[in-house]
Amino acid sequence: MAITNTLFDRSILGTSALAMIPVNHIMRPLELTDFRKGYMECLSNLTIVGDVTEDMFSDNFEEMQRAGGYFIIVIEDLLAERIVASGSLVVEQKFLRNCGRVGHIEDIVVAKGQQGKRFGFTVIKQLLDLANATGCYKAILDCDADNVAFYEKCGLVNKGNVQMAVYAPDAAHK
């Protein structure tokens, strides 16, 4: 597979969510050039990013692209040339459900000063459309209790599950 500037083929993006994007903004797949458009700064509104260099970003991007199953979308403010929102769908191949697929929605973030513009809702809608387009029998996400009401407004159902985690001893976490 040849490495391209775009993480995945934009032709699989659903059109209903794209229609929700305001003027002077675009929703699209993550691109290699997004490092310089503040993608990592946008992510830092969610959790610890670390000291990611442009080379590290590029290497990770190419690894995700080669592996397939990674669908990171961004909303870019075209006038400012800045990433203002993002979200990820990671497609997991299963043996369950007739070798079905599960979509894991991750890393939903809207940059500071950009909340209230329905960017989060629009990103979730697009990721759900992508889950459907890639053949996922379900899409799931973990969230803080404070965010349950938001995700319910996006059409997700609280299944009452509890997230469990263990971090590597030397891993920074928040």
Query: Which among 24, 42, 9 has a CA at the least distance from the CA of 108?
Result: 42
Give residue-wise pLDDT tens across range 128-154.
999 999 999 999 999 888 889 889 999
SS3 85: strand
What's the mean pLDDT in 80-104? 97
Query: Which among 68, 139, 67, 62 has a CA at the least distance from the CA of 108?
Result: 139
Report pLDDT for 172.
59
Please give the DSSP secondary-structure letter assigned to residue 123. H
For the four alpha carbons of 4, 8, 14 and 20, in that order, the dihedral sign comes to negative
d(CA 137, CA 152): 19
Give residue-wise pLDDT tens across range 1-24.
556 799 999 999 988 898 899 999
Report pLDDT for 161.
81
